[in-house]
Amino acid sequence: MDFAFTREQLMFKKEVIRFAKKEIVPRVQEHDLKEAFDFESFRKMGEFGLLGLHFPTEYGGEGADVVTTVLAGEALGEAGVDGGLTLAYGAHTFLCADTLFRNGSEEQRRKYIPKLASGEWIGCMGLSEPDAGSDVASMTTTAEKRGGSYVLNGTKMWITNGPIADVAVVYAKTDPDQAHAGISAFIVEKGTPGFTPGRPLIKMGVRTSQTSELVFSNCEIPAENLLGNEGEGFLYAMQTVEWDRSALLAPFVGVTNYMLKKCSDYAKGRVQFGRPIGKFQAIKHKLADMRIFGEAARTLVYRIAWCKDQGRPLNHLEAAIAKLYIGDWSLAVTNDAVTLHGGYGYTHEFDVERIFRDTRLAPIGGGTSEIQKMIISKLI
């Protein structure tokens, strides 16, 4: 057993941090305040190779392994990139592009992956609905086969990148009488008649990611836009869980390091009662808890990434444990970070308040903590 990264991986991590600090982080606060998506940073991430890191080079990717890809996510968090942008990246690369790559035909891969890997196009995944969140199999969006087309009707909700996506992987029922086995996956491009992305929702956190409904009203798409086979959509959606439990959680590991540094710096500089507040045990205690959480989160995430690199089937128990732990336990440390900063922590002057708001999504998005507990208790 060996927890070491390779030298190349560590060097790559440093490069990503350097890139992010220079090209992305200076604009984070501004975009968070304006609730605006940072297109410029996203494109730069594409140019740097981040958006297609794990895709083969012949599709415009970098051919990186899973651990390296996950490490890039950690690096973004550690650099100070906000949760909104890392969420947008995660949804684009892992929920949309990867699903397309893994299950699409060669023609579909050639058509979409290079554009998605470069960031020329932005992708999203439409799975959840207003009345089908945790219980996704109860979705009511339908896809009716009519000759050489499918006609989609329904509404998707909570779709990251929804308002700005050029292409969406959309899940709909080709057999409404079935539950999971009735779900199929489709590729829908922006501008398709009958497809209307909703207006961006105003959210508590991850504000730089644009989230909306996707509305389908007799939206007709060519039959060749079916992704994979009919009735296998749910399986494709569940395949994204591996990424959800590693690459999409990795920024939380990184942001914990970032927060620890910020909090330490503040604790050293802020003087009260004649001494830096870092001298008080209560403050050291909070810093310690941040470190303790971060180290725990790190091993959970990389175990999943490493197993994926070995080609092992997803261990659903380990995946649920990782999501549950990071989702629930991250709240306490971000809360501590705000408290440590006192009044300043409650303002936009320091980014701990943004991190606190962003992190609140952790036990909700990608499968709530309650769902993880349900999964775990069923598996034991």
Cβ partners under 8 Å of residue 365, min gap 6: 87, 158
374 touching other proteins, by CB under 8 A: yes
- Closest by Cα among 125, 344, 13, 317 to 116: 125
Angle CA 16–21–27, to nearest 5: 125
Q: Are 45 and 119 in contact (CB under 8 A)?
A: yes
C-beta of 4: minimal distance to other proteins in Å? 6
Greatest C-alpha distance within the chain: 79
C-beta of 320: minimal distance to other proteins in Å? 8
Among 148, 191, 311, 377, binds other proteins (CB under 8 A): 377
Mask: binding to other proteins, 53-92, rule CB under 8 A, as x and -? --------------x-------------------------
DSSP 197-254: E-PPPP-SS-TTS-EEEEEEEEEEEEGGGEES-TT-HHHHHHHHHHHHTTTTTHHHHH
105 touching other proteins, by CB under 8 A: no
Q: Are 138 and 132 in contact (CB under 8 A)?
A: yes
Among 110, 146, 268, 348, binds other proteins (CB under 8 A): 268
Cβ partners under 8 Å of residue 204, min gap 6: 357, 360
190 touching other proteins, by CB under 8 A: no
- How many whole angstroms separate alpha carbon 324 and alpha carbon 296? 12
288 touching other proteins, by CB under 8 A: yes
Among 232, 318, 331, 368, binds other proteins (CB under 8 A): 318
Which residue stretch of 186-194, 210-218, 244-252, 275-283 sits at the interface with other proteins (rule: CB under 8 A)? Answer: 275-283
Cβ partners under 8 Å of residue 108, min gap 6: 100, 187, 224, 227
Which residue stretch of 94-102, 228-236, 284-292, 356-364 sits at the interface with other proteins (rule: CB under 8 A)? Answer: 284-292
Among 117, 172, 241, 267, binds other proteins (CB under 8 A): 267
C-beta of 180: minimal distance to other proteins in Å? 21
Q: Which is nearer to other proteins, 44 or 303 (CB)?
A: 303
C-beta of 117: minimal distance to other proteins in Å? 25
C-beta of 371: minimal distance to other proteins in Å? 10
Contacts with other proteins by CB under 8 A: the residue count is 47
8 touching other proteins, by CB under 8 A: no
- Closest by Cα among 115, 113, 366, 156 to 248: 366
Q: Please give the distance of CA 197 from its chain centroid, rounded to a whole number.
A: 20
Burial class (CB in 10 A: 0-12, 13-18, 19+), 378: exposed
Which residue stretch of 15-23, 50-58, 240-248, 257-265 sits at the interface with other proteins (rule: CB under 8 A)? Answer: 257-265
C-beta of 306: minimal distance to other proteins in Å? 5
Q: What are phi and psi of 150, to 5 degrees?
A: -120, 140
Which residue stretch of 83-91, 131-139, 178-186, 281-289 sits at the interface with other proteins (rule: CB under 8 A)? Answer: 281-289
135 touching other proteins, by CB under 8 A: no
299 touching other proteins, by CB under 8 A: yes
C-beta of 19: minimal distance to other proteins in Å? 23
295 touching other proteins, by CB under 8 A: yes
Return the H-helix or E-strand segment holding 145: strand 142-146
273 touching other proteins, by CB under 8 A: no
- Closest by Cα among 136, 168, 131, 133 to 152: 168
Cβ partners under 8 Å of residue 333, min gap 6: 256, 259, 289, 290, 293, 294
Burial class (CB in 10 A: 0-12, 13-18, 19+), 311: exposed
C-beta of 282: minimal distance to other proteins in Å? 10
C-beta of 5: minimal distance to other proteins in Å? 6
Contacting positions for other proteins (CB under 8 A)? 1-5, 67, 260, 263-264, 267-268, 276, 278-279, 281, 283-292, 295-296, 299-300, 302-303, 306-307, 317-318, 320-321, 324-325, 370, 372-374, 376-378, 380
